[in-house]
Chains A and B, each alone.
Chain A
Amino acid sequence: MKDEPKTVDARGLACPEPVIMTRKALQQADEVLTIVDNPTSQHNVTRMAEKAGYMVQVEQRGDGIYLHIAKGHAAQEPVPAPTAAPQQVLPTVGPLVLVVASEFMGHGEHTELGEVLIRSFFHTLGEIDPLPTTIILFNSGVKLVAEGSPVVEDLQALCARGVEVLACGTCLGYYDLKDKVAVGQVSNMYSIAETMFRAGKVVHL
Chain B
Amino acid sequence: MVGLEVSDDAAVWKISDDVAVIQTLDFFPPVVDDPYDYGAIAAANAMSDIYAMGGEVVLALNILGFPSDLEPEIVAEILRGGAEKVAEAGGVLAGGHTVDDREPKYGLSVMGLVHPDHVLTKANAQVGDVLVLTKALGAGIITTALKGGAADPAHVARAVESMKRLNRQAAQFLQQVGAHACTDITGFALLGHAHEMAEKSKVRLQVRVDRLPFLDGAVEYAEQWLFPAGTCRNEQAYRCGIEFAASVSEEMQQLLFTPETSGGLLASVPPERVQTLLTLFADAQAPCWVVGEVADGAGIQVL
**A183 in contact with B240 given A15-B232, A16-B144, A40-B232 (CB within 8 Å):** yes
List the B residue with the shortest CB-CB distance to A39.
B232
Count of A interface residues, CB-CB < 8 Å: 27
1/0 per residue A176-202: CB within 8 Å of B?
A: 000100011110101100000000000
The reply to whether the CB of A48 lies closer than 8 angstroms to some CB of chain B is: yes
**A162 in contact with B225 given A20-B149, A188-B246 (CB within 8 Å):** no
Q: For window 172-191 of chain B, which residues contact chain A by CB distance below 8 Å?
A: none
Contact (Cβ within 8 A) A16 B246: no
The reply to whether the CB of B216 lies closer than 8 angstroms to some CB of chain A is: no
Contact-residue bracket for chain B = 20 to 34
Contact (Cβ within 8 A) A165 B145: no
CA distance A162 to B148 in the complex (A): 28
1/0 per residue B90-130: CB within 8 Å of A?
A: 00000000000000000000000000000000000000000
Contact (Cβ within 8 A) B227 A44: yes
For the complex formed, measure the closest distance between the CB of B259 and the CB atoms of chain A, giving whole angstroms: 12
For the complex formed, measure the closest distance between the CB of B234 and the CB atoms of chain A, giving whole angstroms: 11
A17 interface neighbour in B148, B236, B241, Cβ under 8 Å: B148
The reply to whether the CB of A65 lies closer than 8 angstroms to some CB of chain B is: no
The reply to whether the CB of B161 lies closer than 8 angstroms to some CB of chain A is: no
CA distance A121 to B223 in the complex (A): 40
Q: Which residues of B contact A183 (CB under 8 A)?
A: 240
Contact (Cβ within 8 A) B223 A15: no
The reply to whether the CB of B242 lies closer than 8 angstroms to some CB of chain A is: yes
CA distance A130 to B148 in the complex (A): 33
Contact (Cβ within 8 A) B224 A15: no
For the complex formed, measure the closest distance between the CB of A122 and the CB atoms of chain B, giving whole angstroms: 15
Q: Which residues of A contact B147 (CB under 8 A)?
A: 16
Contact (Cβ within 8 A) B246 A190: yes
Contact (Cβ within 8 A) B246 A164: no
Contact (Cβ within 8 A) A47 B225: yes
The reply to whether the CB of B229 lies closer than 8 angstroms to some CB of chain A is: yes
Q: Which residues of B contact A48 (CB under 8 A)?
A: 224-225
The reply to whether the CB of B19 lies closer than 8 angstroms to some CB of chain A is: no
Contact (Cβ within 8 A) A47 B250: yes
The reply to whether the CB of B228 lies closer than 8 angstroms to some CB of chain A is: yes
The reply to whether the CB of A81 lies closer than 8 angstroms to some CB of chain B is: no
Contact (Cβ within 8 A) A51 B240: no
Interface centre among B229, B236, B237, B246 (most CB of A within 10 A): B229
**A16 in contact with B226 given A40-B232, A47-B250, A162-B236 (CB within 8 Å):** yes
Q: Which residues of A contact B226 (CB under 8 A)?
A: 16, 19-20
**A51 in contact with B236 given A16-B145, A16-B148, A185-B243 (CB within 8 Å):** no
For the complex formed, measure the closest distance between the CB of B188 and the CB atoms of chain A, giving whole angstroms: 15
For the complex formed, measure the closest distance between the CB of A162 and the CB atoms of chain B, giving whole angstroms: 4
List the B residue with the shortest CB-CB distance to A46.
B225
For the complex formed, measure the closest distance between the CB of A84 and the CB atoms of chain B, giving whole angstroms: 34
For the complex formed, measure the closest distance between the CB of B42 and the CB atoms of chain A, giving whole angstroms: 21
1/0 per residue A26-50: CB within 8 Å of B?
A: 0000000000000010011001100
Closest CB pairs A-B (n = 9) = A48-B225, A20-B148, A159-B240, A162-B236, A40-B232, A14-B229, A16-B226, A15-B229, A16-B148
27 A-B pairs with CB atoms under 8 Å apart are: A14-B228, A15-B228, A15-B229, A16-B144, A16-B225, A17-B148, A19-B148, A19-B227, A23-B150, A40-B229, A43-B232, A44-B227, A44-B232, A47-B225, A47-B250, A48-B224, A48-B225, A51-B225, A160-B240, A162-B237, A164-B239, A183-B240, A185-B240, A185-B241, A188-B246, A190-B246, A191-B246
In addition to A15-B228, A20-B226, A159-B240, 6 A-B residue pairs with Cβ atoms within 8 Å of each other are A14-B228, A19-B225, A20-B148, A44-B227, A179-B297, A185-B239
Q: Which residues of B contact A (CB under 8 A)?
A: 144-145, 147-150, 223-229, 231-232, 236-237, 239-244, 246, 250, 297
Q: Which residues of A contact B (CB under 8 A)?
A: 14-17, 19-20, 23, 40, 43-44, 47-48, 51, 156, 159-160, 162, 164-165, 179, 183-186, 188, 190-191
